[in-house]
Amino acid sequence: MTKEKQRTYEFLGNIMVSLMDTDILITYPFLKTELHISSRDLSAMKKGSNMCIYQYVRVVSCITEQIHLGILMDVLLKQLKIMLATHSDLVIGMIPHCKHGSGQPEEWVIVMQWDGIWV
C-alpha cells in the first residue's frame, strides 16, 4: 500500500476516534452490537488500516446518529460543485453556541484552497 493511501485511511480513523470520544457510551461493545463488526476490525479502523471504505462510513454514520450530529452531505456537495465551477475557496467555520444563540466566529480557517491563490 502506498504512503498516500495510508494517510487517507489514517484521516478516516482519526475522524472515527474523534467522534467516539464525544460520548462515553460509544464503545467497542456498543459498535460491535449495533454494526455486527469485530473488535479486531474496529481496532484496525481506529489505526487507519486499509479497510473497506464502506466500513468507515457505517461506523461514522452510526456514531453521528447516536450523538445527534447531522452532516448535510447534499449541502456540502452543492457547495463543492459551486466551488469547483467558480474556482472559489470552500470555507468551513465553527460557530459557538451559547445561551443567547450562536455567536460570530472569531477566526476562519481555510480547509480547501486552489494552488497559487492565497487569501
The answer to whether the CB of 90 falls within 8 A of the CB of 75 is: no
pLDDT 10s digits, 36-90: 999 999 999 988 888 888 999 999 999 999 988 888 888 888 888 998 999 888 8
Angle formed by the axes of helices 39-46 and 53-66, nearest 10°: 90
pLDDT 10s digits, 2-43: 555 555 688 889 999 999 999 999 999 999 999 999 999 999
What is the reported pTM? 0.70
Q: For residue 47, what pLDDT is reported?
A: 87
Q: For residue 73, what pLDDT is reported?
A: 82
Q: Where are the domains of the chain?
A: 3-66, 73-112
List Cβ neighbours of 49 (8 Å cut-off, separation of 6 or more). Answer: 9, 13
Cα dihedral 5, 31, 68, 91 in deg (nearest 10): -10
